[in-house]
Structure 1
Amino acid sequence: MTAMRSALPDLIRTERLTLRAPAITDLADLVALANNWQVVEPTAVMPFPYSEDDGRAFLATIGDADTPRAYAIANGDDRLMGVVSLKFAQGKAPELGYWLGQPYWGKGYAPEAATGLVQAASASGIAEINARVLESNAASIRVLQKAGFTIVEHTHSVVERHRGKPLLIMAWRAP
């Protein structure tokens, strides 16, 4: 688990994006983008409202072996647009998670970031990645499909925010 996490590169570049460690210099953009119910609602664990304290708490965990390996999704000006991550748990495939600030929706950034992380994970020896998405979140399902994920299970959410709602388990597997 820790070996897989640490095998990931510190920096991932895609055609338009840089995936890098979130930093304290991202705090203002992090709070401004994440303090939006439309961004937070489909996520399992992001708090709302999202405060500066929440941003500082998130940034304090970057690099901790027991937290997801998070990458800031940054544009050409190195401004934070969102976050993409892999969560590692013993005996399970890593789980992809992401969110993107609303001003960046609909421009292909989320699938580009997800694909970039999946390709880096594959190059690091990770052969399978899972993701959970609400069945009602068509945009996120498309993001995952564009990144090579397929639906492997229909179930229901157990997280408090979405308890009982239809949920899809999607998986990417190395070719």
Structure 2
Amino acid sequence: MSVILRTERLVLRKARPDDLKALHAMMSDAETMRYWSTPPHADLATTRDWLEGMIAAPPETSDDFIVEKDGETIGKLGAWRLPEIGYLIGRPHWGRGYAREALAAFVSYAFAHRTDHLTADVDPRNTASLALLARAGFRETGRAERTWCVGGEWCDSVYFRLDA
């Protein structure tokens, strides 16, 4: 049985092939993807490959969710590789607290059913993500330079951890 998480405004559910167009709209947007681990998706095939990987990821090592608002796919959030979390909310939905709400639901679920801690790797220029994790109780555990090369640009990392 597939896990579904519900919050006041959101549904977090497992990915489906019909999420492709909504995910591509997000993942092809340069501003939305600014701090992601890959460049914006240049074509639908790139997003399809990414989505198929998310769907096929083994549940022993991955627990990722699509974030839905009123039946519309607005993002993804979860542990793409336990215990490391990642999230992406489409730009039209920024600033409304959806990432905070989805993260709180996922943290509660993960600690009840999956792991005793979560980690995150954030680009230090991503002030919104740094603030989100701090508000959720994550603590900084370290920093490193030139950890990701995305689209020919080196990015740094701030590492976070949250214990159950």
Give TM class, smaller chain. Answer: 0.7 to 0.9
Q: Matched residues in 1 for 2:135 and 2:102: separation? A: 11
Q: Residue type matched to 1:168 in 2?
A: V
Q: 1:71 touches 1:84 (CA, 8 Å); kept in 2?
A: yes
* Residue 149 (structure 1) shift: 0.9
Residue 116 (1) aligns with residue 95 (2): no
Residue 54 (1) aligns with residue 46 (2): yes
Task: Give identity over the alignment, percent.
Answer: 27
* 1:32-87 residue CA offsets vs partner (Å, 9 max, x unmatched): 12211111120113x423421122212222132187432100002x1100111203
Q: 2:4 touches 2:11 (CA, 8 Å); kept in 1?
A: yes
Runs of 4+ with >4 A deviation = none
Q: Residue type matched to 2:13 in 1?
A: R
Please tell me the root mean square deviation across aligned C-alpha atoms, in Å.
Answer: 2.1
Q: 1:26 touches 1:79 (CA, 8 Å); kept in 2?
A: no
Out of 53, 74, 80, which is 1:81 matched to? 74
What TM-score comes out, normalization by structure 1 length? 0.82
* Residue 27 (structure 1) shift: 1.5
* 1:126-152 residue CA offsets vs partner (Å, 9 max, x unmatched): 111000111111101111122221111
Q: Which runs of 5+ in 2 are unaligned?
A: none
Name whichever structure is richer in strand by fraction.
2
Alignment of 1:26-45 (within 5 A): 26-45=19-38
Q: Which residue of 2 aligns with 1:69?
A: 63
What TM-score comes out, normalization by structure 2 length? 0.87
Residue 171 (1) aligns with residue 164 (2): no
* Residue 15 (structure 1) shift: 1.5
Q: Matched residues in 2 for 1:125 and 1:36: separation? A: 32
**How many residues in Structure 1 have an aligned counterpart in Structure 2?**
160
Q: Which runs of 5+ in 1 are unaligned?
A: 1-5
Cα 1:144/1:157, change in 2 over 3 Å: farther
